[in-house]
Structure 1
Amino acid sequence: MLNINHLSFSYEENLVIENVSFEVKNGEILGILGLNGAGKSTLLNLVAGFLPLAHGTIQFQYAPLSQQSIAMLETHNYFYPHLTAQEYLHIFIKKEKLVDIQAWAAMLDIPLNQEIENFSTGMKKKLALLSILILDRPVMIFDEPFNGLDLESSFLLKEIILKLKAKGKIILLTSHVLETLTGICDRILWLKRGNVERIFEHDSFGNIEKILKEDWTKLDTLHHLL
């Protein structure tokens, strides 16, 4: 169980996350939905430990969450220049853990001996994905994971996430495409201006678009323009 309790965060005087609380069970996929600037990436970075925790608590299995329990696939990934994919992946492998890198690379179409700086955006995304799969942590965060992937890779990623769910992983997932979240998540959290506006259960997914449209005042302007 992952418990987020009364989480708040500010950049200087700008309050970005305000009193956010929710929980995610083992083997559950929680989607996080929100407009640009709603605080999605800040929330994920707080959970991942990339930002200092000043207000609120984050617990995993009723103890403070450790970074050793988390793996995060970021929207944009940084790679050291001139490293090959194989050299990069070996950073994540523990000696006691056997990982068939060759088989994974073949399935994901990753050329292991090629320098990463020559990779396409999609190949870099898949390489970063493989690195967090190697870490095999109980809490896994996917921030816009389908960006830059082709159709086949997107299908494969969806199946990977569902396999991780079946293994009991706790998964946080963001996407700008609503259908991506409704097609894979157990629940969807709607983050609005740093607050949890609502958490949609699976049986109410069909109403999400209607509810969101009711909240978008720009639609009134659009009706006047067209």
Structure 2
Amino acid sequence: MPGGRLTHQDRQKIAEGLAGGLTYTEIAGDLGRPISTITREVARNGGAGGYRADQAQRATQGRARRRKPNSAKLPPAAVDAHGRDPESVHQLEEQFTAMMVGTGLPRMTARVLTCLYVTDSGSMTAAELVRRLQVSPASISKAVGELEQQELIRRERDPHRRRDRYVIDADAWFRGWMASARQNTLLADFARQGAQVLGTTTPAGTRMHDIGHFFEHVGQAMIQAAEEWRQAHAAKRAAQG
């Protein structure tokens, strides 16, 4: 029923909707469910391209069996120091993670990025991430490596504890965006070279030339947009300070 747990029939409808090219919003509307329920369900069960109703149902039943029995109902968690509802924060984390998975990030990498974003300090050590996410140190190491490569986080040395902290800040998306723009520039250069090898007047050479022109245009537009944002953001900070 709407608002309750997803049934096998619900999952079959989700699979059919994905196969039919429906958006998460359309699928949620057909089932009378929140969009967050659909995005979370799909993200944790193979993503849009790998979602299978039967597999999702078995996985859910398996998770339910692995949960420890709790005969006494626990009292609701108290709000934090800022008055935030822990359940609402948890739902936000789940939705954020699902969105990041949708952009192409592996799930563990998306979980680490989400964890850093919703932490007030914006920074955590590897050990803190292990405890928070209840995963192995190797999983955290791989995830932070991927995020550093994309320049979405940066590493700082904690002088008091002699260990690294992974930091998310206001410029994180700027750095990641610029890294993507540089990648587009490299693709443009490669495509132009490919056009020369194939012959600029041949069908394949013309195709490569057009691809190079596209990535050059997109890369330049990305850089310009990011620089404009940074200037506006710096001016706003200066006015507020």
Asked if Structure 1 and Structure 2 have the same fold, meaning a TM-score greater than 0.5 normalized by the shorter chain, the answer is: no
The structure whose Rg is larger is 2
Larger % of strand: which? 1
Larger % of helix: which? 2
Task: For CA contacts below 8 A with separation 6 or more, give which structure has more relative contact order.
Answer: 1
TM-score normalized by the length of structure 1: 0.29
